[in-house]
Amino acid sequence: MDKIFIRGLKVETIIGVYDWERHANRPLSFDLDLGADFTDAAASDHVRDAIDYAAIMETITKIATEYHPALLEALAEKIARALFKDFPLLMTLRMAIHKPGAIPVEDVGVEIERRREDYAACGVR
């Protein structure tokens, strides 16, 4: 399995359980590993045969700025479903969402790992 990695995608959004978190944008940082087979992309040297990571970043940014859940877990799942739906070459996903300043520690967040087959029952092929 080949991988694209994205580290440190920054998005400002409203997210949180507490009232004080829901009155202003908060920073989030995303780290992703996107698994796919790069054989066709390597042979053609054309983005149509690859996962367009700029489009991945746009999808994440759009969802994170428009969807305002209480939990990072809900945001992570919504993004994962969208990525598997919109990017048919994507086979595996590891995504960490960091929420700096949420609590007084160096780093806090969630990490999920998903495979395309996890969503087969939902109609994502």
Domain boundaries, the chain: 51-96
In this predicted structure, the answer to whether residue 56 has a pLDDT above a threshold of 80 is yes
CB burial of residue 49 (10 Å; 0-12, 13-18, 19+): middle
Model confidence at 122: pLDDT above 80: no
Evaluate if pTM is beyond 0.75: yes
**Of 18-22, 56-60, 109-113, the least confident:** 18-22
The answer on pLDDT for 23 being more than 70 is yes
Does residue 123 surpass a pLDDT of 80?
no
Return the biggest CA–CA distance within the chain.
52
Give residue 125's pLDDT: 64
Sequence length of the chain is 125
pLDDT higher than threshold 80 for residue 121: no
- What confidence tens digit (pLDDT) does each residue in 79-88 have? 999 999 999 9
Nearest to 94 by CA among 71, 118, 70: 118
pLDDT of residue 103: 83
